Structure 1
Amino acid sequence: MVYTALLIRLRQMDHRTVLLLLLGAVCCTRSARILGIFPSPSISHQLPFQNIMKALASRGHQITVISPSPLKTPLPNYTDVDLSFSYEIIASFVDVTAMVEASPYEFCEQLIYALNIITEHQLSSPPLQAFIRSNDTKYDLVFLEALMYQSYHGLIHHVGSPPVIGILSVEFLLTMGDAMGTPTNPAIIPDVLLPHGDHMTFHERLQNTLFWLWTRYKKYTEWLPAQEELMRKFFGPNSPSIIDAERNISLLMVSSNWIFNYPIPLVPSVVTFHSLHVKTKTDPLPEDLQKFLDEAEDGVIYFSLGSNVQSDRIPEEKRIIFLEVFSELPQKILWKWESDILPRQPSNVKIGKWLPQQDVLAHPNIKMFISQCGLQSFQEAVYFGVPILGIPFFGDQKYNAKKIVTEELGVQLSLQDLTKETLSAAINAVLNDPRYQNSMKKMSAISKDEPQNSLDRAVWWTEYVIRHKGAKHLRSAAHDLAWYQYLLLDIVAVLILLLAITIFVSYIFLKNIYRYLTKKYYEVKSKHD
């Protein structure tokens, strides 16, 4: 009866009264001033950041974002500081297509060089300098992309040193584990720049350990000093050191979890989620594209190398191999091709400079995704349940391809070793072997079986840090240990010393006993003689 009376009362309430109550509830929610610093000139990596910032803005928070990818459609409570010129800078001296031949060491060297140049251009740019000069806002929270952009800690100090959330749009980087106090044992945790799984052979563990040591050497002798120099150049001597600033990060958000990499030990201040950028509701396709996909009786193979690698820049002999194999297939091919013309284009191939990838993958006629294995593309393929033929180029792509092969979500080919025979065999394997489709469907179901979706979890943790003005209570004690203490080398040294003393004392004791017994023996013998 009580519930019935309440329902009748609510129905009798004036709509304006209900609206006033809702507005009152919104006003009671504290609005925070949040600054997002996301310097990477890569739209696929910017999408997860944008979705978190848009969700926070929709909850009434005042959002300012510094990035190369401003929103195309302005939103309330959302202000962009436009650094889109960064795309031209990186394109002028980095050929990502050629990086397929670079070793992990060479790629890391190139990345350090490229990001230092980009950071310096960004910090000296008129938009960012204008923001620094005019800004007198004291922010409640700062998001900082947790790659090689530590010089931005000077900007964080400039805006009042609020709590900081580090965020990654790639897998967990072992170098960030040092900053958060997370174990990074190279025996069980493969580096994301190496093509290894978590069950490594002796040779792979050796490679992983050597790379683990080398990246730390580069971090503390080249990468951090260069960022420290940039920070002092633009923000003066008063900012805390980069190492101290990194260790005071309240929380690290990682846009990947064990579904897309491997189970690893994490401290409570590291929060994982996945597929932040994936749309739960797709949009209608353009009419010509919808018709092309609908009329594909034998299905469609979708081919895209992502936003960083351009298909029209792959070597001509490899392009010809793709075209020859595609022309012999009964399936249609939808290819993200960045030029107006595709020479020798077969009749079953449709090209487009830009394609709505998620809406395409959601179409039931998509049978396979030929991908460079970027994390965002990997997550989209898993969400929509489309098996993958992976052709990785650089960065974490070979690591992702290894995961795809390990979980039987698809197969992998190397661009350098690509032949007509290997490509044809790989396509036929993914299309005709049901284990790839079945494994992908199972993984898709697992990825969606969560108590809370990733975006809600990211928003909750953001507001958690705001509510508590940081998260020092989640801080690992590993921050307070020297490296030799963390590795227990001081304990090992003491144990070795105690063992050595024990052996020495035992040796002296036994030696004296031996001398005493020998002396007694000869004394008794001499008496008998």
Structure 2
Amino acid sequence: MKWLILLSLIYYLSDVEGLKVLVCFPLPVKSLSILGQGAVRHLMEAGHDVTYITVYPLKLQAKNFRQIDISSNVALVAKDETLTMGYVLNHKLERNHPYQIQEFAQEAVRMTLNHENVKKLLEDPNVHFDVIITDLMESEVYTGLAVLYNCPMVWLYSMGAHWQVLRMIDVASNPAYDPDYLSPNMPPFTFAQRVEELWSRIYWQYLKTFYTQPEERRIYEAVFGPLMAKRGRALPDYEDVMYNASLVFANEHDATRNRLSTPQNFKYIGGFHIEEPVKPLPKDLQELIDNSKHGVIYFSMGSFLKSNSLPRKLVMELLQMFGELKQTVIWKFEDNSLQDVPKNVHIVNWAPQPSILAHPNVRMFISHGGQLSSLEAIHFGKPVIGVPVFFDQFTNIFKAERNGYALRVPLSHNLPKDLKPAITTMLTDDRYAKKAKELSALYHDRLTKPGPALVYWVEHVVRTRGAPHLRSPALHVPLYQRLYLDLLAIILTIVSTFMLLLMKICKKKTNVKRNDRKKTN
């Protein structure tokens, strides 16, 4: 009996032995780094050793944590005016050009893999990892990390189930009902929208195939080729490894409608970045929200977009409009230059968003509709007024409208005038708040919370050596077989042969009749 207990204990300890995990979030986008930090936090709490490649270093010291600082990647967006609200407002943009996004991701790959700190990590022959977790955004070159360390690959996608990510592990979905994440369209589509979505997909694939992917292949071979040679191994072909992920984590949840069907190795873990319980509010904000008799309106355009890039005239008109309300307005504004701020408006340069949204006195959330903000609104059951700017924000706000807890207001020079009636509607019509609470209950009604689910599936991938049992067979079936083009070719050949023989028979009979007539004559 003692030996049995000892063997069971040894088995248990070996089963939960800490993994060595490489988490890579290389894009200079603060909201994406929040996802990376969430993954790091949950993995470390589970006892795993984490190496974190990040643009936004953490003030964290622990035995099971190592940080690779690539903060110089911020230069990619530091002076890009096209990514500001002021530029989008003046140019009336509603959709980003796909090649712009692909180039952005590609340049981030080049900067990251050639960064001095990353090169030191990759060139160290004593370093090994059990699994790679990396952000997926328009580039698959990071799959070379799994090749180098000969371990499973897990993508962490900041959005939901879109065809651009599903194509990595399964067959891409149909454009007749699946818009890409840059699209402002929402199913059911009109005829014109279906044509638009089809063309957008064809154009994206054209850019990827003939412009972006060849350059990504060159980066992959230039970076990982010499590293593999030093280890005495041959570098696999890029296209053989870019579709070899074991799992995709999606930052979405089951409470949204119009979700696509997904393969088994596509896992929804939306909301894993939200700490529970939330951190206490700073004393000044706690007192402000507690003492707001008519409730609080929270206004934030996220961590990437800056409200101070709006025209000053528009900012002053927003302040004037907010000053006419009874409610307290907390506005995340990135500098202290505002003057004549109404008494009911509280300006903050930085806001502890989850802690604010968790307060029961907050009545609504005016948001850009980013995926993290959208998840936090559902998590805490707050109705939303969405002012989408670009990327996936249009899709997120349209979904929120369809789900009945949001109103959409376009970003324009008339924003204060358009925003006022939306605020009034949401204050007087309690259907939005009720729907938000209903969806929040649905969101929280899960078998497992998203953080532990992330840890479980990462461990499962390592335990099962890449989780091949979860992979879809459709990914490796050629297009001509999926569309039965070979069968169609056989049918057309048989029909053509039959028609040809029939025509020859008919022609032969016609010639015989003509000859008989000539003989009779």
Task: Give the structure-1-normalised TM-score.
Answer: 0.88
Separation of aligned partners in 2, 1:509 and 1:411 = 70
Deviations 1:353-394 (A, max 9, x none): 111100101111111111000000000001111111101111
1:514 positional shift:
7.5
Match of 2:43 among 36, 56, 61: 56
Separation of aligned partners in 2, 1:402 and 1:135 = 49
Deviations 1:289-342 (A, max 9, x none): 111111111111100000000011112233233122111111111000000122
* 2:128 equivalent in structure 1: 138
* 2:356 equivalent in structure 1: 360
Checking the alignment, whether the CA contact within 8 Å between 1:374 and 1:400 is kept in structure 2 is yes
Separation of aligned partners in 1, 2:31 and 2:289 = 24
Match of 1:129 among 108, 111, 119: 119
Separation of aligned partners in 2, 1:266 and 1:99 = 34
Tell whether 2:247 aligns with 1:251: yes
Match of 1:195 among 184, 191, 199: 184
Tell whether 2:454 aligns with 1:458: yes
Separation of aligned partners in 1, 2:417 and 2:15 = 65
Identical-residue share of aligned pairs (%): 27
Checking the alignment, whether the CA contact within 8 Å between 2:289 and 2:361 is kept in structure 1 is yes
Tell whether 2:107 aligns with 1:111: no
Match of 1:226 among 202, 215, 219: 215
Checking the alignment, whether the CA contact within 8 Å between 1:102 and 1:394 is kept in structure 2 is no
**Amino acid in structure 2 at the alignment position of 1:250:** S
Separation of aligned partners in 2, 1:499 and 1:431 = 68
**Amino acid in structure 1 at the alignment position of 2:219:** L
- Is the alpha carbon distance of 1:247 and 1:425 closer, same or farther for their aligned partners in structure 2, counting shifts above 3 Å? same
Higher alpha-carbon deviation: 30-39 or 232-241: 232-241
Match of 2:56 among 53, 69, 73: 69
Separation of aligned partners in 2, 1:236 and 1:99 = 41
Tell whether 2:270 aligns with 1:281: no
* 1:332 equivalent in structure 2: 328
1:103 positional shift:
5.4
Match of 1:389 among 354, 362, 385: 385
**Amino acid in structure 1 at the alignment position of 2:68:** V
* 1:208 equivalent in structure 2: 197
Separation of aligned partners in 2, 1:241 and 1:94 = 38
**Amino acid in structure 1 at the alignment position of 2:199:** L
Separation of aligned partners in 2, 1:23 and 1:352 = 53
Higher alpha-carbon deviation: 448-457 or 351-360: 448-457
Q: How many aligned positions are there? A: 504
Separation of aligned partners in 2, 1:82 and 1:174 = 32
Residue 67 of structure 2 aligns to a residue whose secondary structure is: strand
Tell whether 2:409 aligns with 1:409: no
Higher alpha-carbon deviation: 68-77 or 382-391: 68-77
Separation of aligned partners in 1, 2:323 and 2:243 = 55
* 1:267 equivalent in structure 2: 263
Task: Give the structure-2-normalised TM-score.
Answer: 0.89
Checking the alignment, whether the CA contact within 8 Å between 1:273 and 1:458 is kept in structure 2 is yes
Residue 62 of structure 2 aligns to a residue whose secondary structure is: coil
Tell whether 2:292 aligns with 1:305: no
Matches for 1:12-27 after TM superposition, within 5 Å: 26=13
Match of 1:166 among 145, 148, 155: 155
Deviations 1:415-452 (A, max 9, x none): 12634432211111222122211211111111111112
Residue 85 of structure 1 aligns to a residue whose secondary structure is: helix
- Is the alpha carbon distance of 1:182 and 1:339 closer, same or farther for their aligned partners in structure 2, counting shifts above 3 Å? same
1:24 positional shift:
9.9
Separation of aligned partners in 2, 1:200 and 1:135 = 53
Match of 1:496 among 469, 492, 497: 492
Checking the alignment, whether the CA contact within 8 Å between 1:335 and 1:350 is kept in structure 2 is yes
* 1:37 equivalent in structure 2: 24
Residue 355 of structure 2 aligns to a residue whose secondary structure is: helix
1:518 positional shift:
9.6
**Amino acid in structure 2 at the alignment position of 1:134:** D
Separation of aligned partners in 2, 1:360 and 1:516 = 94
* 1:3 equivalent in structure 2: none
Higher alpha-carbon deviation: 219-228 or 90-99: 90-99
* 2:231 equivalent in structure 1: none
Checking the alignment, whether the CA contact within 8 Å between 1:180 and 1:247 is kept in structure 2 is yes
* 2:4 equivalent in structure 1: none
**Amino acid in structure 2 at the alignment position of 1:438:** K
Deviations 1:110-149 (A, max 9, x none): 2222222222222222211222233522211111222234
Deviations 1:83-112 (A, max 9, x none): 122224321335422346475764322222
Separation of aligned partners in 2, 1:26 and 1:99 = 55
Separation of aligned partners in 1, 2:82 and 2:257 = 27
Residue 302 of structure 1 aligns to a residue whose secondary structure is: strand
Checking the alignment, whether the CA contact within 8 Å between 2:253 and 2:270 is kept in structure 1 is yes
Separation of aligned partners in 1, 2:331 and 2:159 = 25
1:40 positional shift:
1.8
Higher alpha-carbon deviation: 389-398 or 491-500: 491-500
- Is the alpha carbon distance of 1:200 and 1:131 closer, same or farther for their aligned partners in structure 2, counting shifts above 3 Å? same
For structure 1, the 5+ residue unaligned runs are: 1-20
* 1:240 equivalent in structure 2: 236
Residue 142 of structure 1 aligns to a residue whose secondary structure is: strand
* 1:370 equivalent in structure 2: 366
